[in-house]
């Protein structure tokens, strides 16, 4: 509306020129240096804008150009007309790129907040971040200058893919920062989802509270103008432990273990007590600093060298009693313990404040450390569709029945349908013990395909990839196998949707990676699948997506759509300059309705929120 009023005003004003003078004879000059940029430091001006080498990750997505003037009476244009269109819309409507920037093209979207033109030769900077543009989608931008009587310049055009923006997660001291990165739910109890980054070298976990999208940005001076760029975030809360204990090796959002309305966070210290290990439990808070000793529960490992807490995973409600539960790995002992939540009024009673894991956990799943038992650990999603969450445990060096070390993944069903009747457990003190190394069985064991492929090196429950009906509760999972060739990632659909037929599972059963519903192979020179993550819908299409590591420095994301051929799926590649120690696809941090990505590089002390 402002643009229309300004143009009407300019036309009225021009009437005076035609009445009383020569008036404007020429249209504005064409903008010749329209540049799309993501890194302000790479923008170069030398009689026009040019773009140097941009650094990853992106800090902005904006346009720059030099004001041309209108070659007439006033020496400057009166208005800009900026419009945009996505490549998807171009293809859908069969539009020609040669005629795309035509003012009569009704498919172009208008921008109504362009800057007012400056004098000829001045820098013009315009942020695109307030437009409704989708990340990782390709767009074209058309720009005209308009003079005081409505004459247009020839159009300038730029095209680009909208990047994910990289918010730097700072913490003052950078040593080891990024050992683990993850979403932790609403720990601060303010209605926003929070994120955390750890440094076991410092013995600290840094928590960043979620916030509104607009709070992530600031204005930066650039060539006499300003550009909108992402802020660096400082931690809102720090949990202080001991570097000697390796505090912060792993941490996880555990749900509400005692139903007091506050979300619980587990943080591990596998190096404590001569390597026996510890797990610290903290309830949601918004104070600035918390000491590890103030945890509401501290759980000790059984034996020296067990390394309790090498991995943690929130499991949802395995025994369907209304309390959240969690799993914890004692890496060197080859054991996974299941701790069931409760309070003083529940049949199990409250989780003891300070005790050994053998008195706190209700279930022990014994594997063998030589198998790499626990190389992958995840739970909390319902894979067979019976309404109870399930447990997945990887064993990357486990041999199959032929003695070939392909690796394996073990599935244990929650609820009462599996070999462990979680609903029937009524005590702690390791009430149930399953010894896989002595012949006991999981509900399902899936073996890898090739010798040495390390099937189960990591794994992730993905959530709902298929976009099922509300009546179908089953969810999907992925398994990394980085040890063979260029690596693989296997995707298995849950319930009746997948080749495993998990809705008809009759424990105990066995299967193979060959039965995966989708197998992604690494490309030449790559090694994929050392790390795997899911449970987030990055492009808001209703299908949960998949992320996995590529070599030491890369992350690849697949926008999964069942039924589509692999080569037709949208793929995003993020390549960092340092080795990635941890990454995670997370739910919306800033209430912009989009999922995000966390990446940590402990070797360089860097962590980023990609959004």
Contact (CB, 8 A) for 52 and 8: no
Could you give the C-alpha distances from 448 to 18, 278, 453, 454, in angstroms and in order? 82, 32, 7, 7
At 218-266, the pLDDT tens digits run: 999 999 999 999 999 999 999 999 999 999 999 999 999 999 999 999 9
Classify burial at 89, counting beta carbons within 10 Å of its beta carbon; exposed 0-12, middle 13-18, buried 19 or more. Answer: middle
Q: Tell me which residue of 516, 513, 518, 453 sits closest to 482, measured CA to CA.
A: 453
**Cross-strand bridge partners of residue 366:** 335, 435
Cα(570)–Cα(88) distance, rounded to whole angstroms? 13
Dist. CA 598–CA 457, nearest whole Å:
20
H-type alpha helices, 252-376: 272-275, 357-360
Q: pLDDT at position 13, please?
A: 34
Average the pLDDT over 581-589 and give the result.
97
- The class (CATH top level) of 2-161 is mainly beta
Residue 438's pLDDT is what?
A: 96
Distance of CA 338 to the CA centre of its chain: 26
* Interatomic CA distance for residues 527 and 179, integer angstroms: 21
Distance CA 126, CA 60 (A): 11
Q: pLDDT class for 71, splitting at 50, 70, 90?
A: low
Q: Which residues pair with 19 in a beta bridge?
A: none
DSSP symbol at 405: B
Structure-block tokens of residue 7: 């143009």
In the numeric block, the tokens 């808001």 are attached to 540
- State how far the Cα of 411 lies from the Cα of 505, in Å rounded to an integer: 11
Token digits of residue 458 = 């990591």
List, in order, residues 6 or more apart from 403 with CB less than 8 Å away.
none
Yes or no: say if 602 and 177 are a contact pair by the CB < 8 Å rule. Answer: yes
Q: Are 147 and 72 in contact, with CB atoms under 8 Å apart? A: yes
> Alpha-carbon distance 285 to 537, whole Å?
28
262-315 pLDDT per residue, tens: 999 999 999 999 999 999 999 999 889 999 999 999 999 999 999 999 999 999
**Neighbour-count burial of 308, counting CB atoms closer than 10 A to its CB (0-12 exposed, 13-18 middle, 19+ buried):** buried
What percentage of the chain exceeds 90 in pLDDT? 87
Tokens of 53: 């080498």
Across 197-235, b (16+ Cβ under 10 Å) vs e yields: bbbbbbbbbbbbbbbebeebbeebebbebebbbbeebeb
- The model scores a pTM over 0.95: no
- CB burial of 560-570 (b: ≥16 within 10 Å; e: otherwise) equals bbbeeeeeeeb
pLDDT of res. 563: 86
Residue of 345, 585, 550 lying closest to 465 (CA atoms): 585
pLDDT at 1 over 50: no
Greatest Cα-to-Cα distance within the chain, rounded to the nearest angstrom: 102
Give the bridge partners for 110, in sequence order: 83
Nearest CA to 493 out of 470, 461, 534, 524 is that of 461
User: Which residue's structure tokens are 């051929």?
Assistant: 565
Residue 158 has pLDDT above 90, yes or no: yes
Using CA atoms, how far residue 234 sits from 240, 252, 492, 607, in Å, is 16, 20, 39, 11
DSSP-assigned beta bridge partners for residue 411: 392, 444
Query: How far is residue 34's CA from residue 36's CA, in Å, rounded to a whole number?
Result: 7
Residue 2 has a pLDDT of 42
C-alpha span between 523 and 548 (Å, rounded): 13
Q: How far is CA 539 from CA 47, 137, 468, 545, 563, in A?
A: 39, 10, 17, 8, 17
* Tens-place pLDDT, residues 426-463: 999 999 999 999 999 999 999 999 999 999 999 999 99
SS percent in the chain: helix, strand, coil, step 5: 10, 40, 50
Model confidence over 357-398: pLDDT tens digits?
999 999 999 999 999 999 999 999 999 999 999 999 999 999
H or E segment and range at residue 70: none
What is the rounded (10 degree) CA torsion for 133, 135, 141, 143?
60
pLDDT given at position 295: 98
Tell me the two tokens of residue 391. 């447990």
What's the confidence (pLDDT) of residue 25?
58
Task: Using alpha carbons, select from 171, 166, 230 the residue that is nearest to residue 196.
Answer: 171
> Is residue 15 over pLDDT 80?
no
3-state secondary structure 215-267: HHEEEEEECCEEEEEECCECCCEEEECCHHHCCCCCEEEEECCCCCCCCEEEE
Instruction: Write out the two tokens for 184.
Output: 């932790």
Domain boundaries, the chain: 2-161, 362-580
- pLDDT score at 76: 66
Using CA atoms, how far apart are residues 512 and 517, in angstroms rounded to an integer? 11
């Amino acid at each position: 509306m402002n643009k229309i009023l300004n143009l009407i005003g300019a036309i009225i004003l021009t009437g005076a020129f035609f009445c009383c003078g020569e008036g404007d004879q020429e249209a504005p000059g064409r903008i010749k240096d329209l540049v799309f940029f993501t890194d302000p430091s790479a923008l170069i001006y030398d009689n026009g804008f040019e773009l140097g080498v941009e650094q990853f990750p992106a800090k902005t997505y904006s346009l720059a150009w030099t004001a041309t003037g209108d070659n007439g009476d006033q020496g400057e244009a009166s208005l800009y007309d900026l419009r945009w269109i996505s490549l998807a819309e171009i293809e859908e409507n069969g539009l020609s790129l040669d005629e795309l920037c035509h003012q009569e093209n009704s498919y172009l979207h208008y921008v109504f907040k362009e800057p007012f033109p400056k004098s000829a030769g001045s820098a013009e900077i315009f942020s695109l971040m307030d437009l409704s543009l989708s990340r990782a989608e390709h767009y074209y931008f058309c720009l005209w200058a308009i003079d005081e009587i409505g004459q247009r310049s020839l159009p300038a055009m730029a095209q680009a893919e909208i990047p994910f923006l990289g918010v730097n997660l700072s913490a003052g001291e950078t040593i080891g920062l990024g050992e683990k990165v993850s979403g932790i739910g609403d720990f601060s109890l303010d209605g926003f989802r929070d994120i955390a980054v750890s440094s076991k070298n410092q013995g600290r976990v840094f928590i960043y509270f979620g916030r509104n999208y607009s709070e992530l940005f600031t204005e930066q001076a650039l060539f006499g103008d300003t550009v909108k760029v992402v802020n660096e975030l400082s931690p809102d809360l720090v949990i202080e432990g001991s570097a000697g204990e390796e505090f912060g090796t792993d941490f996880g959002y555990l749900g509400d273990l005692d139903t007091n309305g506050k979300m619980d966070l587990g943080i591990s210290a596998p190096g404590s007590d001569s390597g026996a290990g510890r797990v610290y439990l903290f309830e949601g808070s918004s104070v600035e600093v918390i000491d590890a000793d103030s945890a509401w529960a501290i759980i000790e490992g059984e034996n020296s060298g067990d390394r309790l807490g090498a991995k943690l995973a929130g499991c949802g409600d395995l025994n369907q009693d209304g309390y959240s539960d969690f799993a914890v790995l004692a890496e060197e002992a080859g054991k996974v313990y299941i701790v069931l939540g409760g309070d003083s009024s529940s049949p199990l009673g409250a989780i003891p404040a300070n005790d050994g894991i053998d008195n706190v956990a209700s279930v022990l799943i014994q594997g063998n450390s030589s198998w790499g038992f626990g190389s992958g650990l995840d739970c909390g999603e319902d894979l067979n569709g019976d309404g109870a969450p399930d447990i997945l445990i990887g064993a990357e060096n486990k041999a199959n029945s032929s003695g070939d070390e392909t690796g394996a993944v073990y599935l244990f069903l929650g609820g009462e349908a599996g070999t462990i009747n979680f609903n029937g457990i009524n005590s702690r003190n390791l009430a149930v013990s399953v010894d896989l190394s002595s012949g006991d069985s999981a509900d399902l064991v899936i073996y890898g395909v090739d010798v040495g492929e390390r099937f189960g090196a990591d794994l992730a429950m993905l959530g709902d990839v298929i976009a099922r009906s509300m009546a179908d509760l089953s969810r999907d999972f992925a398994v990394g196998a980085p040890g063979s060739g260029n690596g693989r990632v296997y995707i298995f659909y849950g319930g009746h949707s997948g080749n495993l037929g998990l809705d008809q599972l009759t424990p105990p059963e066995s299967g193979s990676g060959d039965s995966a519903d989708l197998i992604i192979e690494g490309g030449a020179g790559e090694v994929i699948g050392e790390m795997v993550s899911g449970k987030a819908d990055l492009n808001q299409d209703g299908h949960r997506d998949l992320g996995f590591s590529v070599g030491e420095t890369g992350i690849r994301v697949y926008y999964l759509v069942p039924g589509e051929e692999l080569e037709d799926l949208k793929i995003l590649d993020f390549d960092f300059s340092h080795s990635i120690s941890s990454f995670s696809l997370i739910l919306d941090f800033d209430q912009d309705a989009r999922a995000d990505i966390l990446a940590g590089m402990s070797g360089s002390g860097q962590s980023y929120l990609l959004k």
